[in-house]
Chain A
Amino acid sequence: MTQIKSKKLRGILLGAGFVAIAAFVFTGCPGQQRMLDTGDAAQKVYVAPGEHDEYYGFFSGGYSGQLSVWGLPSARFLKVIPVFSQDPETGYGYSEETKPLFNTSYGFIPWDDSHHPHISQTDGDADGRWIFINANNTPRIARIDLVTFETKEILELPNTGGNHASSFVTSNTEYVIGGTRFSIPYEQDLDVPIDSYSDEFRGALSFIKVDENSGKMDLEFQIVVPPYNYDLGRAGKGPSADWVFFTTYNTEEAHTMLEVNASRNDKDFIAAVNWRKAAELVANGHGKTAPGEYYHNYYEGNQGYAISEQKNGVTILDTREIDEDFIYYLPTPKSPHGVDVDPTGEYIVGGGKLATVIPVHSFSRMLQAIEDGAVVERIDGIPVLDYDATIAGEVENPGLGPLHTEFDGRGYAYTSVYISSEIVKWSLETFEVVDRIDAYYSIGHLMITGGDTKNPDARYMVGLTKTAKDRYLPTGPKQNHPAQLYDISGDRMELLLDFPTIGEPHYAQAIRADLIKDNVAQIYEMEDNDHPHALRRIADNRVERDGNVVRVFMGSTRSHFRPDNIEGIRVGDTVYFHLTNLEQEWDVVHGIAIKGAQNSEILVAPGQTKTMKWEPNRTGIYPFYCTAFCSALHQEMQGYVRVSAADSDVPLTWRTGTN
């Protein structure tokens, strides 16, 4: 039992001991790995052919910018949902419908770094309606619809650098949050010396309202805070449901060589934000409008082109200007990375990255401290609470570099530990470590099925590790990132499976499959196709010219296109193929590709309309074909376009079926 009695952090003394343990753990070879008997492990992850997994797993793609979907416990790879990066496999980001999703105030951005998927919640439990994910680099948040498994919306966050503390939702998905990892001058595009950091740079915490019916996001307000690095965030639950917690590091306000310069202070802060109060302040006119250019890209209706709305201006709450307190700093050792709230909503666990203990704050003690005025100082108006007044315990001997914590709802917490590459299980009652197991190798986030919710369904845990080294058949100097599946239903964690993933699975979420699978769409219903260039009847297939713009209204069915012979296209034309897949059978997909097209194929799901832009630059005969193996006569599914010189007078004609 390590209830804190003195002001001092005691862990430092134990540091040397940890290094020794870490060295042993880190060098442990696979032959010594702790796992169930191979047969028992195999049986636990075996899902018979044709049977379904119990859980959907959503793994972020990290630097791939995407989100991958897995079945758990079998680790069947199900699909990649493209989000922040173009995807030639599906035509996402290449088709005219999806391109506007990539518009930002910095132009068309076809890539990003996606870190933290978070499933929408109702009363603190994942509800499976949408999944949100953040873009780190050019700060954005995306919403993916879990009926079609498609990205439906991307919102840019202005005045933000590195949206890392994102995209976590509050207990009833009232808000999804964003946070600036790199503080930057809050005033947009300010051209100032970098060493004006402490004067000119500010952090921004974004609160994005989510429409409870449509899921549509709206940047409601930003809180302008001191120029630290805001690393991760989590909403409270139950009694703490009105609060959101963010970790900070670099309270040193370094702007160069952060490795050293931002690691000086023994404690940084967890920022506790009462979002309900902040929202009230905004509603009562305490906010002010600041400039901030950003794009909001979304779909309206069932089908069609994504809409890009350019916006300017954001409501801000500046802690220097507002008298009422709605945000507090909790001192926390040391450069904390993750911040996680236990299922009861009482414990706020900091991943004290450089600390030798895992600090655990108590929400009820925090409220008491606020009431008692246990404020040690104010920074830009923000009260800093007394460490001893909020801390509930420090978990000793957690290994080197604790990062992230999830919970099993049975009184235990599980923390990933990067440097010593292990997962430690500890008790929320005694704050003592009760079990530890290796991770292969260098673990970042871990994820427990439902482990961040009010009611964890904690059967399995996934460790998301950063290097594979010798774990699989070698595939060159750069290998795919691994994930490990553990059984945590018993007293001891047991390794079940180790599998390579896609991109850099940074964080993941899992949800019971039965909450999603019955709602998944099988087709786009033709009757509901509101795409402005849809083909609603095959008899309407046609080609239209308007100046240099040519639109082909084309239909596909197994195993032909209509029209499939087109003449009268000229060099210099911009041709749009609006392809409607006229099938209504689940999973019968057609695609189109044409020689020389300077983008990708597009794939079109049953009942869907998608558009490929083509700008032919040489005369000749251009074959096009269906890229999806759709039927026995798939090889017959082809056509020709004749391209003539810019000044030719070949009339525009199209036909099908008359040789």
Chain B
Amino acid sequence: MAAAEPIIKMAKIEKSFPGVKALQQVDFELAAGEIHGLMGENGAGKSTLIKVLTGVYKADSGQIFLDGRPIRIKSPEHAQKIGISTVYQEVNLCPNLSVAENIFIGREPIKNGRIDWKKIKNEAETVLDKFDLKIDVDRKLSFYSVAVQQMVAIARALIISAKVIILDEPTASLDTDETNKLFEVMRQLKSEGIAIIYITHFLNNVYEITDRITILRNGELIDTCLTESLPRIELISKMIGKDLEQIKEMENYSKNIGENNKVLLKAEGLASKGNIEAFDLELKEGEVLGLAGLLGAGRTEMVELLFGLNKADQGRIIIDGKEVKLNSPKDAVDYKIALCPENRKEAGLIGNLSVRENIILALQVTRGWFRKLSQARQLEIAQKYIDLINIKTPDTEQLVKNLSGGNQQKVVLARWLAINPDLLILDEPTKGIDIGTKADIQKLVLELASGEGMSVVFISSEIEEVTRISQRVVVLCDRAKIAELTGSEINQKEIMYRIAGGEA
């Protein structure tokens, strides 16, 4: 593989941010026609390495070679010009422009001195067709879900005739089908001699698609290996720097909750036209309820009703035996319900505020702004959650936008944990989170449930994760609840079977 001259070579790259050494003496090589996985925990420096390579950040020292010649990449624009096309970790597109335009902007076809809108539309449809994505490309990007936006970002990267394509966690919000489509396209590009850097936290994906893997830990290069000669266990231990005892230990976690635990929340015939069909739901104290289903199956719509983000047009909600109306999130929070949403950019995570301020935000709101938490108390709370879920930050005052993607996700989680809810709804809480921390979060959820009697609704696209922590699983399909599984029914096969539309 590494026989020929690499397309890209990065040598002894150093990059520091105030208080953080994000990259230390990192070497990296990328050969033509290979898919190269970049692995590491949250905050290991993966995105930073990509940003140095594509001119978003300037390295403190070190050199980059393109086709053997040293090159100084000045800006993302420059990177594109020399054939490096990137999908950054957060979807970075313009929400106000149409899907088609987002794919083509910057290299619009020009005819007779004007942008050829017709051609843009047609070609956009053709590219998205590769992913079986049949959407109205004239609609604004903001109209579509994160998953669709992600595909659009990928499509944009692919239509540039690039030599190198970089995908920073492109599959975080994609479902299995969409991921497979992406892999098909990646394989085809690879056969055309294009080199691809692929960052992900999904081990299965890495083993399925990559030829080589480079592992970073705490900003240092740990190793670069051929994928086929790197056992999973070894990869994981290289990434987290310790063995897997911790993860294994969790498997034995007791999932028994008392049959006669009190019912906390009950939904009867709840429905919202066009969003979710009528469903019943019962949640006991100290129970973890998993919601499984494909993207678009109605999982998010279901919990939005429970959190007052959307109004039900029929049915009722009963909390602690009393019927309640949840007309807004504020109502829900008053009943000690918290929802940690899927998309952290939309989740109200405020990049320009510090980690501390973001964590205490929801708590402060529930107290009202006139009863301000004291500085000392704020610090205490922030520190508690930083330790509890292992948020990687130099201190409580770091701005959230400077955290790595996964760590931002943890801050959202911390914010909602801080209000100490009775019912915690987690919508894809482990998206973009490395396996070590993922295990930590799963463990934490179980502890909160069995230890403190908190009820948890857990949405995840990873079925394995759902089966691991739920006492009960509700399966959704086409915006309707189609099954409720308990006990031994909770296994991957059964859930997949139900999702695929099978009857019991």
State yes or no: do A and B come from one complex.
no
